């Protein structure tokens, strides 16, 4: 979501990471023109090229199913009154996770993760920062199902949080800071707030096969190699920076199904869905993939008592969830049972 512009006279103009090998230039795959997606903020690309997308904010959960030609083929709704959804990701069991984490005014006592499951159940899990409110627009869902929230900071030093315990459907779980991401000005044009847009993290993604993760600002993407599910360790390494094409308000990012490209889009209509090649990234020597801290399988407790952390590649799940959403859109004329506003 748009934030006020800031005066950044004291921040040096520098790139935080060097480019890797030469890669193909960005290619516009298609343009989204559907009036139901004026504020595209979260994006997931399925194995067959089908995309799932959400708007920024709004008073209802609505997941749009988009074909590779950018046509909206179905809309799946859930009876949830969200506060400010910003990003989405697919879990290892096919659950679609929406990050209701936006907080432009810095007044929220809690944020929320909203789970839309293949069995038509919907849950809201509330989380609380240890140091007061933050605005956040990026969700990184590790291959083991652990969620990481990355804040949106105007001076470029974003905090990375994860839950301290298993999520509780009828309670609030604390968050702990496990990493930080320090960005500097890059000179890449784009976004609605001038140079400040080069520092603001607006979206996140993890590759379907778990080999890499990415964060984006209004102007650039950053890609880190990922070993196992240790997101905090991955973010401690130097990323590859990829300048993105100029766009009005770029907030959506996903890896392509094969993991060799990023797929990005912006708020506003028409919104170009652009495929951006990713230079090769390699996990650092000695990386073990062990999760950070003592917390593992953070998503093991649901109100149904079934763990959403299962074996198997996320790539297969992405294909499954797209088919699942298409099927739900055809089968159901009404949304599943609701939960309270987050």
DSSP letters, 97-128, are EEEE---TTS--S-EEEEEE-TTS-EEEEEEE
Asked if the bond preceding 270 is cis, omega within 30° of 0, the reply is yes
Topology (CATH level 3) of domain 27-276+306-331: Tachylectin-2; Chain A (2.115.10)
Record the tokens describing residue 328, joined without a space. Answer: 């739900």
Question: What is the 3-state composition of the chain as percent helix, strand, coil, each rounded to the nearest 5?
Answer: 10, 35, 55
pLDDT for the residue 4:
39
Find the DSSP H helices in the chain. Answer: 231-235, 314-331
Outline where DSSP puts E strands in the chain. 27-32, 40-45, 51-55, 61-66, 72-78, 85-90, 96-100, 111-116, 122-128, 136-141, 147-151, 157-163, 172-182, 203-206, 212-216, 220-225, 240-243, 250-255, 261-266, 271-277
pLDDT for the residue 255:
98
Q: 120 — alpha (psi -120 to 50), left (phi > 0) or beta?
A: left
pLDDT for the residue 281:
78
Strand ranges across the sheet with 172-182: 85-90, 96-100, 111-116, 122-128, 172-182, 157-163, 147-151, 136-141
Terminal CA-CA length for the chain? 17
Cα of 132 vs its chain's centroid, Å: 22
Question: Rounded to whole angstroms, how far apart are CA atoms 113 and 83?
Answer: 11
The DSSP call for residue 154 is T
pLDDT for the residue 133:
97
pLDDT for the residue 9:
30
Question: Rounded to whole angstroms, how far apart are CA atoms 125 and 128?
Answer: 10
CB 113 within 8 A of CB 99: yes
- Going by C-alpha positions, the residue among 144, 215, 140, 147 that lies closest to residue 181 is 215
**Contact partners, residue 229, CB within 8 Å, separation at least 6:** 142, 143, 144, 146, 210, 289, 291
φ/ψ (deg, to 5) at 330: -75, -35
Tens of pLDDT along the chain (342 residues)? 444 333 233 333 333 444 445 778 999 999 999 999 999 999 999 999 999 999 998 888 999 999 999 999 999 999 899 999 999 999 988 999 999 999 999 999 999 999 999 998 999 999 999 999 999 999 999 999 999 999 999 999 999 999 999 999 989 999 999 999 999 999 999 999 999 999 999 999 999 999 999 999 999 999 999 999 999 999 999 999 999 999 999 999 999 999 999 999 999 999 999 999 998 876 655 444 444 432 333 343 333 333 333 333 333 344 445 544 544 544 454 333 333 344
pLDDT for the residue 284:
54
**Contact partners, residue 253, CB within 8 Å, separation at least 6:** 43, 203, 204, 205, 214, 215, 216, 221, 262, 263, 264
CB 146 within 8 A of CB 231: yes
Question: Rounded to whole angstroms, how far apart are CA atoms 214 and 207?
Answer: 8
Q: Which residues pair with 80 in a beta bridge?
A: 339
Question: Rounded to whole angstroms, how far apart are CA atoms 152 and 89?
Answer: 18
pLDDT for the residue 283:
61
Global pTM value: 0.82
């Amino acid at each position: 979501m748009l934030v006020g512009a800031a005066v950044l006279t004291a921040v040096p103009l520098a790139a935080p990471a060097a480019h890797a090998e030469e890669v193909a230039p960005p290619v516009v795959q298609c343009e989204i023109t559907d009036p139901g997606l004026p504020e595209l903020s979260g994006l997931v690309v399925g194995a067959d090229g089908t995309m799932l997308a959400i708007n920024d904010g709004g008073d209802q959960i609505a997941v749009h199913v988009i074909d590779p030609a950018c046509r909206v083929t179905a809309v799946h709704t859930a009876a949830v009154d969200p506060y400010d959804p910003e990003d989405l990701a697919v879990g290892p069991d096919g659950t679609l996770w929406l990050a209701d984490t936006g907080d432009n005014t810095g007044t929220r006592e809690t944020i929320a993760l909203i789970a839309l499951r293949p069995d038509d159940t919907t849950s809201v899990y509330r989380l609380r920062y240890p140091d007061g409110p933050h605005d956040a627009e990026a969700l990184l869902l590790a291959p083991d199902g652990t969620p990481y929230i990355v804040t949106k900071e105007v001076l470029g030093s974003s905090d990375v949080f994860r839950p301290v315990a298993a999520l509780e459907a009828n309670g609030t779980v604390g968050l702990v800071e496990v990493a930080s991401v320090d960005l500097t000005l890059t000179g890449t044009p784009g976004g609605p707030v001038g140079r400040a847009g080069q520092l603001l993290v607006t979206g996140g993604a993890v590759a379907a096969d778990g080999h890499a993760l990415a964060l984006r600002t209004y102007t650039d993407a950053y890609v880190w190699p990922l070993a196992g599910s240790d997101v905090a360790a991955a973010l401690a390494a130097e990323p590859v920076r990829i300048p993105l094409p100029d766009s009005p308000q770029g907030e959506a990012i996903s890896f392509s199904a094969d993991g060799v490209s990023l797929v990005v889009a912006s708020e506003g209509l028409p919104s170009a869905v652009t495929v951006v090649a990713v230079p090769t990234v390699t996990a650092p020597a000695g990386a073990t993939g062990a999760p950070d801290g003592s917390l593992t399988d953070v998503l093991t407790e649901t109100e149904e008592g079934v763990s959403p952390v299962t074996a198997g590649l996320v790539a297969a799940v992405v294909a499954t969830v797209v088919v699942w959403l298409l099927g739900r859109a055809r089968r159901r004329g009404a949304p599943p049972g609701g939960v309270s506003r987050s």
